[in-house]
Amino acid sequence: MTIVLTGGRPDAATNRDRPVPHRPQWRKAIRATRRLLGNPDDTGQVFEIMRALNPPATRRGYLRLIDQPAGARLAYERTELAARLMDRDWLLRFAPGTVGAAYRDFVWSENLSAEGLVKESQRGIRAELVDAPHPVAWYGRRIRDVHDIWHILTGYGRDPLGEACLVAFSYAQTRGLGWLMIALGAGLRGGNGVPGVRRAILEGFRHGRSSTWLPGVDYEALMQLPIETARAQLGIAPPARYRAVVARAGAAALA
């Protein structure tokens, strides 16, 4: 048997060559945040910020996952959730009232898809890095793919405030600095002066901190549960402040 050794130092690869870079890239994140604040619909900037700032948290999250027996099984199986969530026949199996049915209705009514998130995450970067057969890269894809499921579980809509609240929730869950930067940017904008916006975003953070650690959940099993049962088991509280602001001002007023 011939053993082939790669040349160079073990740490010679640059951030650019790694599926998950080692160091935060603050300048890139700040530029992307400015572009996102100018156009909140530019989802590509969200992934730019995530790639720039979240790598340390992604590594920590993967290590936390494999430190739990159930999480270690998920990491061993390494299911690509995007492929499951793009399987129309699989989605059609879920009974009304379940998490899976709520997800299906949400993405189909909003003309969304897991495939859309995949393509956005690949924009501006070599696809083979996003799709690398690397355990930490797989964990990063897992966080990407559950975003719309978290919309369903938390009750936050796709309006600008709902996204900001979910971003704050996501920061509490993952401790990724990219989520924090976006949440702070949304808080500074303040929903065009609509009262209660910042408190609603802070409520999203508090709910994320008090809920079960969602990256470790078996989503294929969770999708079969009644949605209220799932929320109760995961300790996800109703988004009261968010709903109050939307009821008072309307989603359109928060752009």
* Pair 176, 208: CB distance under 8 Å: no
CA-nearest of 15, 18, 46 to 32 is 46
Instruction: Give the angle subtended at the CA of 241 by the CAs of 236 and 245, to the nearest 5°.
Output: 140
Structure tokens at 94: 């879920």
CA pseudo-torsion sign 160, 164, 169, 171: positive
Cβ atoms of 234 and 217 closer than 8 Å: yes
pTM of the predicted model as reported, rounded to 2 decimal places: 0.86
Q: What are the structure tokens assigned to 131, written together?
A: 């799709």
| 236 torsion bin: left (phi>0), alpha (psi -120 to 50), beta (else) | beta
Q: Are 157 and 255 in contact (CB under 8 A)?
A: no
Per-residue pLDDT for the chain (255 aa), expressed as one digit of tens each?
333 333 344 344 444 445 555 678 889 999 998 898 888 778 889 889 999 999 999 999 999 999 999 999 999 999 999 999 999 999 999 999 999 999 999 999 999 989 888 888 777 776 667 788 999 999 999 999 999 999 999 999 999 899 999 999 999 999 999 999 999 988 887 666 788 999 999 999 999 999 999 999 999 999 999 999 999 999 999 999 999 999 988 765 555
d(C-alpha 129, C-alpha 146), whole Å: 19
